[in-house]
Amino acid sequence: MDTGKVYLDNNATTPVDPKVLEEMLPFFSERFGNAASRNHAFGWQADEAVQNAREQIAELIGARPQEIIFTSGATESNNLAIKGITKNHEGINGHIISCQTEHKAILDPLKQLENSGFEVTYLRVDPDGLIDLNELEAEITDRTILISIMYANNETGVIQPIKEIGELAHKRNVLFMTDATQAVGKIPIDVDELGIHLMSFSAHKMYGPKGVGALYVKSKIKIDAQIDGGGHERGMRSGTLNVPGIVGMGKACELCLQFMSNDETRLGILRDKLEQQLLRISGTSCNGHAEKRLSHVSNISFEGLDGEKLLLSLNEIAVSQGSACTSATVEPSHVLKGMGMSDELAFATLRFGLGRFTTEAEIDFAVEKVERAVTQLRH
Ligand code: PMP
């Protein structure tokens, strides 16, 4: 396997920051205790490390440590939030509002709720990828129990009007949940200021390890556990805590707080350079709102090309196609289609995701490779 590639797929996952790894390592060996062991120092040491991580994570998002529930990642956090909050509303014809361009880790649990009698409204987005706040307001009814709108899109980086949604949810007395997996650690977030009740995120998108994530649950909100046994995490998520992973997530959050502003500016400059050069190639266009998007993401269509063939010929750079692969079929991206794009153009689209370790030389290299591959394929 060739690992000498230039990695521009940081929305899929990020490398673990060496400082994060260093912090985690002792918790695999000499500090191996179970954080729930109350009777000896091994347990106390693990518990202290978990509490420290809870504080680091809470600080990044403006929450209180006890509002952080550890999970195995954002997929689990989304499931826990959506299924856990609706449990008390079963059989009352409850209504949820979400959006067509959400991640499958939101759309699939919602589909299950629809099967058990809930009504779900999926808001459309405009060609820039943004929801319409008037449409959102018009869809809220007396039966609406939850609004679930993602913070920033994983394919385009488009950032939804979270503060306005929070205000609306507050005004109409509806709970507001956001899948912030792509946004946490990348842009400043304050859950109180934004009126967020539930928020999911994941360590491996912010230079932490895979298999650990969190759900922010605002104080006094009760959600039903999806995994029972032992009553860990204030009864909302049982199971022995993944101490090394949690320590890594905490450190990753601390580093994000430290580097966020710098990373955002530097990657914005690199992303703009990448985009300007790619957009010089004929038949290219950039997807998503020009300003309301994350500074490290670029989603580019190459008209008339087969994205899969383009990916294959770009064997020295790791990028991803703007489409979701299911087990047997490759479907055009529901995100791009939701923005009004044709299947053909959606298939001809690539996502470039820059990260903390991306260099200018790598961007220059990627531009050169893409230009060459497109020219060859068009011949
Ligand atoms: N939501 C969004 C927006 C994502 O980008 C991802 C990761 N692709 C997930 C949820 C799922 O996260 P995890 O890999 O931690 O389960």
CATH number at residue 27: 3.40.640.10
Report the pLDDT averaged over residues 351-378.
96
**Using one digit for the tens of pLDDT, what is the confidence trace for 6-37?**
999 999 999 999 999 999 999 999 999 999 99
> Is the residue at 1 inside a domain?
no
Res 162: pLDDT: 98
Last residue of a domain, one of 230, 255, 280: 255
Percentage of the chain beyond pLDDT 70 is: 97
Quick one: 162 and 232 in the same domain? yes
Q: Does pLDDT of 282 surpass 70?
A: yes
Last residue of a domain, one of 238, 255, 272: 255
d(CA 213, ligand 1 centre) in Å: 10
Active-site annotation, residues: 325
pTM of the model: 0.96
Quick one: 268 and 245 in the same domain? no
**Using one digit for the tens of pLDDT, what is the confidence trace for 201-249?**
999 999 999 999 999 999 999 999 999 999 999 999 999 999 999 999 9
Quick one: 204 and 274 in the same domain? no
Sorting pLDDT into bands at 50, 70 and 90, what band is 328? Answer: low
Q: Which domain holds residue 11?
A: 6-15+260-378
Report the pLDDT averaged over residues 344-372.
97
Which CATH number does the domain housing residue 330 bear? 3.90.1150.10
Structural domain count of the chain? 2
Quick one: 214 and 272 in the same domain? no
Cβ of residue 179 lying under 6 Å from some atom of ligand 1 = yes
Res 324: pLDDT: 55
d(CA 203, ligand 1 centre) in Å: 10
d(CA 281, ligand 1 centre) in Å: 31
Q: How far is residue 182 from each of residues 17, 63, 115, 201, measured CA to CA in Å?
A: 17, 18, 28, 8
Quick one: 113 and 233 in the same domain? yes
Closest residue to atom 12 of ligand 1, CA basis: 74
Mean pLDDT of the chain: 95
Report the pLDDT averaged over residues 264-270.
98
Query: Within a 10 A sphere around the Cβ of 160, how many other Cβ atoms?
Result: 25
Sorting pLDDT into bands at 50, 70 and 90, what band is 90? Answer: confident
